[in-house]
């Protein structure tokens, strides 16, 4: 029996129309004569989706009783017995009811496919297993129901049911996705515009990768080696040299010319690790690639052209961008055509762009043959071998000379030249070549004991000696340079890695650098001294009988930022170069420390000044008003004999009200000072959100005419301080009531989002501009309120402080259609473990 075909409709989020599209396609298949049945469809109360069910045969659901609850689910046995051509199975990632035949619905689908039944199903991108953690980072919601990627990728057809994010929000606002009471919470959480845009892009990228994978599988199955240019993929080859930025920007322009073009940069590292790059260039180029929307890759291989082409072919690249060689023409003639020619030969269908740049080699640039890479000991040994070995070899060969020995004599002198080149480099090798050529002509070439070049071949032999010496010296010099560079890079990497590890473990950066510098250079002591003479960091003991080496660290107006004291043996040139890297890191660490301290000090001063000014203003105005009213009332009571009972009662009420206001203001000041000082006493316990909301409304004296309630009856208790929570709710609801237009109604809702419960207070007032939403939580802020009877402007500051003290958050959001929504998010209280009898 042939296996059934699987067609998956993939959506970026709930509500994009997957189920509706599945039912519409089922109607088309039925009209075409196919036997189609609905195995299971979830309409979620959407009238348009429910209308599409009409006219299609629907299989009865299987009922399962679990914990005294009646559950219904897909009846796999009934669908298998019915054996339709096509079965509609909604929500592929759904978890079946306990006691079902399979734990997951996708396992039911696999059974139907094995039975030869075609299946049309739906799934959202957040339920794909490999994307689950990515979606959680985007939305903040962990999905419990997932389907393995392999199940979805095994589908014969995958189609993205696409809907623009704003169109989905409009559909949600119109009540076409969720009931009206869930709309505000959904728009403000999962269905934010940024979330939907990211999920949509994630779905499209996942499908694009699936298309690429299918194309590669098809090509492998049919033995197709050439690249199929379904979209432009531009690979830029980076050497780590200064030309990298030019190549990256050129590659980005090539990729931008076609819709959906991709930019990839790749650097090939040799397995021996001796290929050097410009320090820091590769890191900055990697950042440039990321800023241009590309990706950076690093691969290892000794054959650079083959490795580059192999990488380009593995990613189905269509364009390969490389730079003109930095070698000169003469160097290229001596050492071969180079990497570019090798890439062009093996690139196949991939277009290769060779880009000129400012670092390209000159016309007649000679290869660098400086002997500086070899130590002076090796050069002296090379001279000694040439001066001593030349005469000894001449004496030996002359004593054994025959008429037929000229060939062996020439090879012996050539061997001497090679040995001298290997030991001492260019200068001793040139000396040995000239000396051996003259000696060979003087002692072994007729006429003997004369330096006469009668034959052109003799002159050619001397030239060959010199060429051999130069070429061997170049090889030795390059090998020595690479070995030295490798040792230096290894030492620097090891040192910096050790420093980084020390900082991660909690050490300060200056102390870690000082300590590792002493260890790396074998010094007896190292100290970092500030300009004022104070010791910033020290390690080891100074030598009293020897003056230290002083190295300036960083620059600032008036001199260095600090001075590094080195106690011990003087460092050689390679060690000084390594020390330069440490000094640069020290300068950066000191500057960062200074800037951080200055920023913190400035922030504290600014906040202190702001609070001080606001406090003085509050005391001079807000506290004075009730105090003046109380004093006036008490002053009037002194003449109580001349007052009527009604006047006396009014004065007492005024004094009582003013003193109550004064007490409340002073209490708020004390509370905000405790919040600022971090000494707020919090006692957490399970609290019922509905009870807290109702108690706050009762305290405010608000009634059903002002506030609508939509409280989730299944919301578990919150973990909060009941007293502080009620104060937060009173402050926030009072603030919302004060800013609500006359005749409008506020809405208070409760809902759960994972392990967090949310209480939302929604008003239809003027709202608050986005750039000022954080400002309103600062103490003594009224945001334009002109009513001075409302207090010091501490209500929201206290509410946020109380909420954060309970481990929650208080955040503002724009109310769809106008107004402000305040969201109080608190953790759900841990449930008590069930007692199993």
727-749 pLDDT, tens per residue?
788 888 888 888 788 778 888 99
**Of 277-281, 595-599, 636-640, 787-791, highest mean pLDDT:** 595-599
> Does the pLDDT of residue 315 top 80, yes or no?
no
**pLDDT category, 118, cuts 50, 70, 90?**
very high
pTM of this structure = 0.39
DSSP string, 402-424: -TTTHHHHHHHHHHHHHHHHHHH
**pLDDT category, 121, cuts 50, 70, 90?**
very high
Q: How far apart are CA 396 and CA 409, in angstroms?
A: 10
Greater model confidence, 568 or 219: 568
Q: Which helix (H) or strand (E) holds 8?
A: strand 6-11
Answer for the pair 334, 467: CB distance below 8 angstroms, yes or no.
no
**pLDDT category, 759, cuts 50, 70, 90?**
very high
Q: Phi and psi at residue 742, in whole multiples of 5°?
A: -65, 130
**Bond into 404 cis (ω within 30):** no
The per-residue pLDDT for 221 is 56
The per-residue pLDDT for 724 is 79
Residue 710 forms beta bridges with which residues? Answer: 749
The per-residue pLDDT for 792 is 44
| CA 266 distance to own-chain centroid | 19
Greater model confidence, 323 or 140: 323
Mean pLDDT within 782-809: 64
The per-residue pLDDT for 365 is 41
**pLDDT category, 182, cuts 50, 70, 90?**
confident
Q: What is the largest CA-CA distance in the chain?
A: 153
> Does the pLDDT of residue 63 top 70, yes or no?
yes
User: Tens digit of pLDDT for each residue in 365-387?
Assistant: 434 444 455 667 778 888 888 88
- What average pLDDT does the chain have? 76
The per-residue pLDDT for 673 is 56
Answer for the pair 312, 235: CB distance below 8 angstroms, yes or no.
yes
- How far is the first Cα of the chain from the last one, in angstroms, to the nearest whole number? 50
> Does the pLDDT of residue 212 top 70, yes or no?
no
DSSP string, 680-716: -----EEE-HHHHHHHHHHHHT--TTTEEEE--TTPP
The per-residue pLDDT for 830 is 83
The full set of domains in the chain, from first to last, is 6-221 (3.40.50.300), 233-355 (3.40.50.620), 371-482 (no CATH), 685-827 (3.30.565.10)
**pLDDT category, 291, cuts 50, 70, 90?**
confident
Greater model confidence, 697 or 448: 697
> Does the pLDDT of residue 87 top 90, yes or no?
yes
| DSSP-derived 3-state class of residue 570 | coil
The per-residue pLDDT for 137 is 76
pLDDT > 90: what percent of the chain? 8
> Does the pLDDT of residue 766 top 50, yes or no?
yes
> Does the pLDDT of residue 120 top 90, yes or no?
yes
Q: Which residues of 772-792 are buried (b: 16+ CB within 10 A; e: fewer)?
A: ebeebbbbbbeeeeeeeeebb
Q: How far apart are CA 577 and CA 584, in angstroms?
A: 11
**pLDDT category, 785, cuts 50, 70, 90?**
very low
**pLDDT category, 503, cuts 50, 70, 90?**
low
**Bond into 447 cis (ω within 30):** yes
> Does the pLDDT of residue 473 top 90, yes or no?
no
Residue with tokens 């009662």: 649
Greater model confidence, 97 or 117: 117
Residue 821 forms beta bridges with which residues? Answer: 762, 813
């Amino acid at each position: 029996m042939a296996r059934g075909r699987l067609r998956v409709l993939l959506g970026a989020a709930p509500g994009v129309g997957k189920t509706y599209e599945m039912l519409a396609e089922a109607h088309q298949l039925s009209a075409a004569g196919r036997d189609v049945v609905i195995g299971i469809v979830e309409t979620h109360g959407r009238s348009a989706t429910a209308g599409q069910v009409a006219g299609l045969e629907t299989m009865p659901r299987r009922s399962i009783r679990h914990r005294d609850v009646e559950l219904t689910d897909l009846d796999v046995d009934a669908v298998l017995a019915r054996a339709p051509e096509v079965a509609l199975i909604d929500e592929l990632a759904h978890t079946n009811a306990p006691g079902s035949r399979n734990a997951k619905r996708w396992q039911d689908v696999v059974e139907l496919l094995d039975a030869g039944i075609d299946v049309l199903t739906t799934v959202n991108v957040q339920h794909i297993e490999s994307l689950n953690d990515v979606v959680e980072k985007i939305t903040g919601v962990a999905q419990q129901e997932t389907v393995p990627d392999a199940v979805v990728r095994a589908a014969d057809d995958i189609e993205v049911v696409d809907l623009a994010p704003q169109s989905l929000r409009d559909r949600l606002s119109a009540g076409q996705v969720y009931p009206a009471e869930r709309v505000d919470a959904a728009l403000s959480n999962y269905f934010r515009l940024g979330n939907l845009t990211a999920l949509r892009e994630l779905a499209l990228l996942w499908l694009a990768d699936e298309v690429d994978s299918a194309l590669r599988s098809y090509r492998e199955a049919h033995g197709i080696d050439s690249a199929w240019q379904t979209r432009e993929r531009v690979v830029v080859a980076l050497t780590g040299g200064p030309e990298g930025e030019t190549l990256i920007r050129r590659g980005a322009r090539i990729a931008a010319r076609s819709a959906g073009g991709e930019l990839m940069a790749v650097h090939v590292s040799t397995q021996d690790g001796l290929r050097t790059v410009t320090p820091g260039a590769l890191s900055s180029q990697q950042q440039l690639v990321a800023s241009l929307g590309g990706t950076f890759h690093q691969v290892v291989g000794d054959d650079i052209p083959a490795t580059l082409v192999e990488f380009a072919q593995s990613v189905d690249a269509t364009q390969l961008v490389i730079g003109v060689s930095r070698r000169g023409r003469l160097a290229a003639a001596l050492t071969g055509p180079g990497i570019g020619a090798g890439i062009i030969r093996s690139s196949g269908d991939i277009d290769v762009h060779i880009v000129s740049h400012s670092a390209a080699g000159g016309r007649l640039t000679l290869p660098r043959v400086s002997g500086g890479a070899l130590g002076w000991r090796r050069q002296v040994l090379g001279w000694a071998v040439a001066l001593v070995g030349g005469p000894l070899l001449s004496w030996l060969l002359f004593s054994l000379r025959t008429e037929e020995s000229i060939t062996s004599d020439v090879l012996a002198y050539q061997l001497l030249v090679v040995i001298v080149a290997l030991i001492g480099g260019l200068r001793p090798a040139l000396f040995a070549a000239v000396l051996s050529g003259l000696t060979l002509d003087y002692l072994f070439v007729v006429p003997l004991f004369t330096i006469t070049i009668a034959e052109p071949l003799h002159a050619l032999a001397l030239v060959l000696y010199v060429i051999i010496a130069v070429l061997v010296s170049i090889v030795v010099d390059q090998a020595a340079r690479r070995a030295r560079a490798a040792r230096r890079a290894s030492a620097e990497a090891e040192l910096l890695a050790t420093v980084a590890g020390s900082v991660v473990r909690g050490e300060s950066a200056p102390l870690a650098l000082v300590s590792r510098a002493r260890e790396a250079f074998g010094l007896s002591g190292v100290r970092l001294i500030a300009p004022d003479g104070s010791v910033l960091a020290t390690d080891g003991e100074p030598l009293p009988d020897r003056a230290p080496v002083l190295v300036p660290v960083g620059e600032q107006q008036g001199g260095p930022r600090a001075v590094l004291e080195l106690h011990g043996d003087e460092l050689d040139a390679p060690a000084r170069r390594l020390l330069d890297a440490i000094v640069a890191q020290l300068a950066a660490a000191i500057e960062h420390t200074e800037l951080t301290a200055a920023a913190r000090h400035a922030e504290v001063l600014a906040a202190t000044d702001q609070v001080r000014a606001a406090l003085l203003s509050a005391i001079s105005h807000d506290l004075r008003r009730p105090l003046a009213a109380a004093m006036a009332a008490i002053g009037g009571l002194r003449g109580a004999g001349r007052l009527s009972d009604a006047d006396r009662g009014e004065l007492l009420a005024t004094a009582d009200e003013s003193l109550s206001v004064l007490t409340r203001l002073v209490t708020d000041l004390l509370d905000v000072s405790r919040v600022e000082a971090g000494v707020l006493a919090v006692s957490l316990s399970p609290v019922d959100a509905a009870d807290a909301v109702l108690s706050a409304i009762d305290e405010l004296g608000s009634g059903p005419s002002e506030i609508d309630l939509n409280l989730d009856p299944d919301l578990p208790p919150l973990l909060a301080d009941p007293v502080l929570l009620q104060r937060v709710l009173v402050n926030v609801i009072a603030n919302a009531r004060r800013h609500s237009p006359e005749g409008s109604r506020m809405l208070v809702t409760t809902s759960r989002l994972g392990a967090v419960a949310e209480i939302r207070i929604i008003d239809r007032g003027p709202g608050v501009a986005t750039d000022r939403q954080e400002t309103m939580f600062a103490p003594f802020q009224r945001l334009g309120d002109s009513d001075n009877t409302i207090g010091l402007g501490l209500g929201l500051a206290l509410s946020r402080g109380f909420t954060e003290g309970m481990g929650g958050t208080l955040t503002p959001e724009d109310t769809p259609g106008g107004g402000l929504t305040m969201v109080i998010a608190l953790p759900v209280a841990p449930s008590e473990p069930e007692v199993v009898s």
